[in-house]
Chain A
Amino acid sequence: MTMTEVPPSRPPAVRAGVARMVRIRSLPGKIRAIAFLSVLAVAAMFTVSWFAVSDARDGLRVIGHDAGPQVVATGDLYYALSDMDAQLAAVLLMGREQNLGSGRAKALQVYDQRRSQAHRALLQGSNLARNDPAEQQTARSMLDALGRYEEFAGQALQLDQRQSHTAGPPGQEVRSLYTQATDIMKLDVLPKAYNLTLDNGTTVRRTYESKHSAVLAGRVWVLLAGLVLIVILLALQAYLAVNFRRLINPVLAIATLATVVLIGGTIGLLTSEANHLKKAKGDGFDSVLSLSRARAISNNANADETRYLLDPTLADTYEQVYLDKSQEILYVPAGNLGEYYQQVDAKVAKGSGFMGFLGVEAQHVTLPGQATALSRTLDAYRGVQHDDAGIRRLSTTPGGRHTAIVLRTGTASQDFGSYDQRLVTLTAIHQKAFTDAIKDGDDGLNGWNIALPVAAVLIAILVLVGVRPRLSEFR
């Protein structure tokens, strides 16, 4: 928010000086006084315009180049971390069987890949933490916790390989090591990554609210200051016309015209900048934030499905958190998973009546291609839930557990991958709208830091040049 301060009242000495000047009864004295007032008004108009344009520039910087992109960066970090743990769970579930899904080796390879992604992101701590000491501390403690996670994960993997079990829950010791690892991830590392994303979202929202309204309010100030200047210029024009019996002073007329153009241009600029900010936030950022949260939580829920098979003693909890997370992604009123599957099918087919991240997205379709990308995402989400229903049904049927694991590591894994891909495609549409709006905003501001002072100085010079010949008549 830009505070508009009331200037302190002038000290008596200055006031006396101004009074003396104004009191000058002579014609040139009066002309000088009005010319001086015009130059003051030019300075005032320049100042309010400068501040309004700076508000737009600050808004674009924070939203477009700082906190906005950080949302994507921290979202990617969350995904890498969450997927590490998902891959670990999958490897432990597969046991010694090599032909499940894309295979144990492939899952381990993805695990390593995600791990180096996460490390890279965390080591670039300053990049992530925007020079904020508290956030840097967070990044460091995440790195420490990740180190502890990897220790348990490594032990679990080693022991699991030694014990060489068929697909299904590994031995008690491995499960306990895995629980310790996943607890660190779930309770320590992931919350910090997710909260960083939310923090950046808060920064963007607050910056938008203050800067967008400041830019709009700036238009009013520019208009007011501009009108004052025009009135003074017209008064000067009229004064000269009356006292020197000339119809028009062409140089002053040009100054007045230039002022009108400058007011129009500045107000036009501020209007379009406010629009770019609004588009960047409304069509781009808001959806990018909520869809990257949806992706983070989807990945985590998908891993909960694997963990449900991995550890029968915690299966109830994993099932409950799966439902909880699913309802966060797409909310339909449902008391248990059975009802949830049915409701998702019914409401998605109908195209309305659902909330959550995907529900909000469905209520705000504004961009070309968004509707198609969204309906493809929703279809894929239904597929993921069908798989989930199948896995849970099989795993509780006597003798069905192995088939459940085959489904989980095979078809379900592919279906989830394609849902994730479609979610990414949908997000990219908003990302593009965001980047475009920011670029338009940046382009619109190009050159104004030079144009504004140049125009102001030019108008002031025109005023002085306009009155100079009249003043010289008195020499």
Chain B
Amino acid sequence: MRVGRIGAGLALAVALAGCGTAGASGQSIADKDTLTIGVSKDQPGLGLRKPDGTFAGFDIDVARYLGAHLEKKPKKVDFKVVQYSDRESSVQTGKVDLVISSYSITPERKTKVAFAGPYYVAHQDTLVRTSDAGIHNVRDLAGRRLCAVNGSVSWQRVTKERGVHASLVQAATYGDCLTKLTSNALDAISTDDLILAGFAAQKGRSVRFVNAPISDERYGVGIAQGDVTGCEDINKAITEMYLDGTATKLLKKWFGATGLNLTTTVPQFEGCG
């Protein structure tokens, strides 16, 4: 039908004229029906893959909420495990649409990917064996064995930013670090309190927090550079998550028992574009 064709033509013209800024792969996440979200598989409390293949944790719940509350249409959310060291490249190559995996916003990472959020601000602290009484703050790690997870900025905050000469013990994951800590293959794990809290809960009294935070870790949602519209939509959904009380509920659900000081007000956003 003629009118139909003209109508379709007009709709196309309107769509072209109104297109927002899209990501590297060309399409804004705002226009997608399904979002592939990169998560971690080995962080209890944040992002953990269960034996049945499903995921659970604060990051996972946040991802589900954001998928369901994006302005344009609710999205189906698929999870994909992303290694710490692959987080930037997964977003850059479009292997995942978003990364929600205790992913700290840092100036250096911002040169490769953009960040919506942060959706939470954690703090870096240190976990040691309870029997080890000699560590009171991060400077006491000089000469001690510190866990270094590939692709994580945490150990660099100790050795590079603070200039503390700790000897580094490589590990693939924080779960790996924990095993090494309890088996005396290293002396300390220094990373975000939310990550440590999950592990501390697993190990009971054999490990303890040093309780001397050294940084603000702003957990962002990694997104392709240039997808300003998608980034703004996520920020809007994060604001909603705090306004409707979901953020408080989720924080209590996952970390309420840890005794950590939880912040239940919306964080200061990084800003898109």
Chain A residues at the B interface, C-beta cutoff of 8 Å = 1, 3-4, 6, 9, 134, 137, 145, 187-188, 190-192, 194-195, 198, 201-202, 205-206, 209-210, 213-214, 217, 293, 313-314, 316-317, 319-321, 323-324, 327-328, 331, 333, 335-337, 355-356
Q: Mark B237-249, 1 if CB is under 8 A from A, else 0.
A: 0010001000000
Q: How far is the CB of B204 from chain A (nearest CB, A)?
A: 28
Q: Answer yes or no: B73 CB below 8 A from chain A CBs.
A: no
Of A134, A205, A217, A321, which one neighbours B273 at CB under 8 angstroms? A205
Q: What are the residues of chain B within 8 A of A205 when measuring CB–CB?
A: 228, 232, 273
Is there an interface contact between B18 and A210, defined as CB atoms closer than 8 Å? yes
Q: Is there contact, CB below 8 Å, between B243 and A134?
A: yes
Determine the distance from Cα of A187 to Cα of B242 in the docked complex, in whole angstroms.
13
* A9 to B161 Cα, complex, angstroms: 70
| Interface membership of B133, Cβ < 8 A | no
Whether a CB of chain A sits under 8 angstroms from the CB of B138 is: yes
Are B160 and A317 in touch, CB under 8 angstroms?
Answer: no
Contacts A198-B235, A213-B17, A327-B107 given; indicate if A320 touches B161 (C-beta within 8 A): yes
- Given that A293-B271, A328-B107 are known contacts, is A316 also in contact with B214, CB under 8 Å in the complex? yes
Min CB–CB distance A59 → chain B (angstroms): 14
Q: Please name all residues of chain B whose beta carbon is closer than 8 Å to the beta carbon of A335 when the two chains form the complex.
A: 156, 160-161
Tally chain B residues at the interface, Cβ within 8 Å. 45
- 17 inter-chain pairs at a CB distance below 8 angstroms, sorted by A residue, are A9-B3, A145-B265, A187-B265, A191-B266, A195-B266, A202-B235, A206-B20, A209-B18, A316-B138, A316-B162, A317-B214, A321-B216, A324-B216, A327-B107, A331-B110, A336-B163, A337-B161
Chain B residue at minimum C-beta to C-beta distance from A315:
B214
Cβ < 8 Å to A, chain B residues 24-50: none
Q: Which partner residue on chain B sits nearest A192 by CB separation? A: B266
Contacting pair B10 A317 (CB below 8 A): no
B87-125 near A? 1/0 per residue, CB < 8 Å: 000000000000000000011101100000000010100
The reply to whether A324 and B107 contact each other, CB–CB distance below 8 Å, is yes
Chain B residues lying within 8 Å of A214, measured Cβ to Cβ, are 17
* Docked complex Cα distance between A321 and B105 (Å): 12
On whether the beta carbons of B17 and A195 are closer than 8 Å, the reply is no
Is A336 in contact with B265, judged by CB distance below 8 angstroms?
Answer: no
Query: Residue among A192, A209, A319, A337 with the most chain B CB within 10 A?
Result: A209
Q: Mark B133-176, 1 if CB is under 8 A from A, else 0.
A: 00001100000000000000000110011110000000000000
Q: Are B3 and A6 in contact (CB under 8 A)?
A: yes
Compute how far the CA of A355 lies from the CA of B6 in the bound complex, rounded to whole angstroms. 47
Contacts of A191 in B (CB 8 A): 265-269
